[in-house]
Structure 1
């Protein structure tokens, strides 16, 4: 998985996201991966809030695999534009974060966000 194809692969595996991707391209004239992953974050959180566990699991499975990419830009994309945007230090999402696949949870812990939450620092 590369930085150049990560969005195409996400849309292929999660076709429900295609309308948001098309809107993003129409608004920006191109794919801006980090900006689009803000929409991915909102999309996943919305699916979680609706109780669409199958959709959430497909998204998280993809993001988990993306964190294993040899392309450091893909790993940074997931870490900064998904994990960070979810805000794992926020008690409101902590239960959701605890359901993530192992590497995503490790990403949040590795970046110190969970430790910051334990100390009461939120950013």
Structure 2
């Protein structure tokens, strides 16, 4: 029986392996089959690495990535940064990233951003509500649809 090996220009990745993101602040296991919400979390970590500690704590507590749950931490960190204006994670980078992702029209990603970020932003009577005036046009329109009173 003759043994043939795969072509040398095609990498072979076993179905059960994970491929670490090479540009991630630390190795975040990514798989080609990650759901869009999980991919959103991983991409956020690449764009705003200051969320790494919250992510690691989240994964430890939850036993994996639950995007809607993790975004509670994203909201808290973003509003805290907005209020302190010099605290990490940088609220401007977070809003820029989420605005860009919101403009792509991916319904699975939008569900996470709208439900678990925009929906959890402070109410008008709460500290940090001013952040809603800093939302880009796409997220601002979505925010007004879900919370017309602010």
With normalisation by structure 1, the TM-score equals: 0.82
Q: Pick from 131, 137, 141 the counterpart of residue 106 of structure 1.
A: 141
Tell which deviates more after alignment, 91-100 or 42-51: 91-100
> Contact 2:79–2:131 at 8 Å: present in 1 too?
no
Supply the distance in 2 between the matched residues of 1:70 and 1:95 (Cα, whole angstroms).
Answer: 26
Cross-structure match for 2:120 = 85
* 1:4 Cα deviation from its structure 2 partner: 3.3
Q: Which one has the bigger helix percentage?
A: 1
Q: Which residue pairs with 2:74 in the alignment?
A: 40
RMSD, aligned CA: 2.1
Q: 1:11 aligns with which of 35, 39, 45?
A: 45
Unaligned stretches of 5+ residues in structure 2: 1-34
Higher relative contact order (CA 8 A, sep 6+): 1
When the two structures are superposed, what TM-score results if normalisation uses the length of structure 2?
Answer: 0.68
Tell me which residue corresponds to 1:55.
90
Deviates more, 1:93-102 or 1:22-31: 93-102
SS at match of 2:134: coil
